[in-house]
Structure 1
């Protein structure tokens, strides 16, 4: 948090107003030496004088004293990663520390939004998960009600919807979302078109590339969900799986975005488990473990490759985290839980299945 710096601010405001120390002293009903001491911060004005000073210079009291409760996005991201690691070690103490920071930066809405996301990503580690989830909703509601930044409000609404779905309140989520799919907004593509018209092809190309990257990941995630929703229709399910796996191969997703690949392979393994197809289920689980180890999922960062060359620079320009939203150990622990019965109960006697579990647990220890 930025410290109070009234002296320098007062000097700047007084000079901008073309006032001398004597004139300011006369207006405030104090001596010139008092004004001098305020400006050198030898002493500070009585708290009752601050509104009068702020009114004189047409600024808020916060602006007058140089008080800025905001954290930079760099600081917000750093705190998120620090707290994420704490949650993986001791959720009770991590929650207490998180709440302490929330109280400290309660008017820093980007930070509150990140804390809401932190809680949604880690609530299952706490002994009272419902408490943590509800707190996430409260933080979202504060951002929605108090923030004047439209993008933050939009993100807070989206995160609140995630909370409602996670907490099994679909009807309330639909009240916010509506009940029918909407056309995808193409704001970014329009920005690219504007750059193209302005004769700036490099900027236009860069934005189109970022659009392809985002849409590609969304398509793969949607296909995985579509496949799981249609497991009873084997033909449709198999065709979706085939096309999805081809996309992974075509765009080298295993290396580019490892966490997406792990989600896909786990989903495919679940499909084969539902069919009691041992060989196919084991093959998918082995691909899953191979990707986790080869590309070090526990320490994964979003990065560029030879095709998507602008990803890192784009995320840096928006001050977005390149690390996963959960600590690596938490991600691996979640995968270990997913591999347990009842879904894969029919594989528990298979040595290849046990080998997958042991490798995953070893990665968890290494993380």
Structure 2
């Protein structure tokens, strides 16, 4: 038991219930001195008395002990902000703080997810993976991130963020040379054939006269399938060995699935990521003219992407399953989307300016115009 916390709760509840120490002692069959010692933290009630105390105060045992199985939204934000600040300054202290908070909320998947992902990001940073600098904090942060992410998957195996958490865990394991463990986690989830469950479910619903359920099942599966196609296409752009010609084919596919009204909002980064991969491959191969043409088109793609981030318009087609789409009218979500757009633009500028092949085009009017349009000076300040 947490002696100080329980002592405070007994004192607070006794006062709230307008009881004196003597009255409380009488109702519990103990001495006034015993109650006084409880409230001063000098001793604890007998375990058999604890349910009686909770009942007397009309509170639950969780309330009496100050146990919160789920953190409030404010608490989650507080923990996340404080943890990120500590990670930037002192990873060892951050790990201690994360251990304490995760132990307190070991049944809260949302708080654990925030903590685990923050630790994961720090664990895979090159600056802390250098064993010559700080091996102990690095190892501790990585180990804690793994343990917490595994707990999130245990608590919420089918949640909306499961794939993201699983991906982070697999990357973390692979970064430590444990590719085999990562394979074991993910390989069983890779489908060996198309998933026809939604079609079967829709057929059952139609035969039962429930056309709305059929529509929802099919549109949900179609939405998920489109997201999977987009994710695979985007990932292919980063695979070494994919040729420029293949990237052009992928771009055609990407543009086609984004073409209908609002569909670009489902995966706004798809086209710019593939386009910059194509442009980079062309400049590295020495085809400057085609590379510049693709880079110019990339800027247009990126501007549309950032505009979509900041003002997403969900495709009307998927209205029946809008719980999987962008949230509109949410101030925090709007702010986060704006920050994501700025971060995306900054990361692209950084990748271009750090690539030596693009550096050879400095002074070329077309290249310099593109960089001005990207706001390179503003980003690098």
Taking structure 1 as the reference length, what is the TM-score of the superposition? 0.66
User: For residues 367 and 181 of structure 2, what CA distance do their matches in structure 1 show?
Assistant: 40
1:71: which partner in 2?
71
Alignment partner of 1:105 is 2:101? yes
Alignment partner of 1:115 is 2:115? yes
From 157, 182, 199, the equivalent of 1:173 is: 182
Deviation of 1:219 after TM superposition, in Å, equals: 1.0
1:353: which partner in 2?
367
User: For residues 248 and 10 of structure 2, what CA distance do their matches in structure 1 show?
Assistant: 70
Alignment partner of 1:284 is 2:291? no
Alignment partner of 1:182 is 2:191? yes
Mapped contact 2:254–2:270 kept (Cα < 8 A): no
2:146: which partner in 1?
140
User: For residues 225 and 48 of structure 1, what CA distance do their matches in structure 2 show?
Assistant: 58
Judged with a 3 Å threshold, the aligned counterparts in structure 2 of structure 1 residues 226 and 314 are, in CA distance, closer, same or farther, namely closer
1:241: which partner in 2?
251
User: For residues 366 and 306 of structure 1, what CA distance do their matches in structure 2 show?
Assistant: 39
User: For residues 286 and 348 of structure 2, what CA distance do their matches in structure 1 show?
Assistant: 20
From 219, 233, 236, the equivalent of 1:209 is: 219
Q: Unaligned regions of 5+ residues in structure 2, if any? A: 15-22, 131-136
From 168, 171, 177, the equivalent of 1:159 is: 168
User: For residues 187 and 51 of structure 1, what CA distance do their matches in structure 2 show?
Assistant: 55
Number of aligned residue pairs: give it. 345
Deviation of 1:161 after TM superposition, in Å, equals: 0.5
1:17: which partner in 2?
none
Mapped contact 1:282–1:352 kept (Cα < 8 A): yes
From 49, 55, 79, the equivalent of 1:53 is: 49
User: For residues 377 and 220 of structure 2, what CA distance do their matches in structure 1 show?
Assistant: 32
Alignment partner of 1:220 is 2:230? yes
Q: Deviations over 1:204-254 (max 9, x none)?
A: 544543443333232122123335547465654443332233223346554
2:276: which partner in 1?
266
Mapped contact 1:119–1:136 kept (Cα < 8 A): yes
Q: Deviations over 1:171-193 (max 9, x none)?
A: 44224334894347969949975
Judged with a 3 Å threshold, the aligned counterparts in structure 2 of structure 1 residues 23 and 31 are, in CA distance, closer, same or farther, namely same
Mapped contact 1:329–1:364 kept (Cα < 8 A): no
Q: Unaligned regions of 5+ residues in structure 1, if any? A: 12-19
User: For residues 182 and 116 of structure 1, what CA distance do their matches in structure 2 show?
Assistant: 27
Deviation of 1:114 after TM superposition, in Å, equals: 1.7
Mapped contact 2:314–2:326 kept (Cα < 8 A): no
Taking structure 2 as the reference length, what is the TM-score of the superposition? 0.64
Judged with a 3 Å threshold, the aligned counterparts in structure 2 of structure 1 residues 258 and 227 are, in CA distance, closer, same or farther, namely closer
1:314-353 to 2 correspondence within 5 Å? 314=324, 323=336, 328-339=341-352, 340-353=354-367
2:316: which partner in 1?
306
User: For residues 11 and 95 of structure 2, what CA distance do their matches in structure 1 show?
Assistant: 33
CA RMSD of aligned residues (A): 5.3
Q: Secondary structure at the match of 2:44?
A: helix
Q: Deviations over 1:36-86 (max 9, x none)?
A: xx9xxxx58865216333466899964542421531457536865x579x7
User: For residues 363 and 253 of structure 1, what CA distance do their matches in structure 2 show?
Assistant: 32
Q: Deviations over 1:1-36 (max 9, x none)?
A: xx989569989xxxxxxxx9788513xx3459959x
User: For residues 263 and 325 of structure 2, what CA distance do their matches in structure 1 show?
Assistant: 18
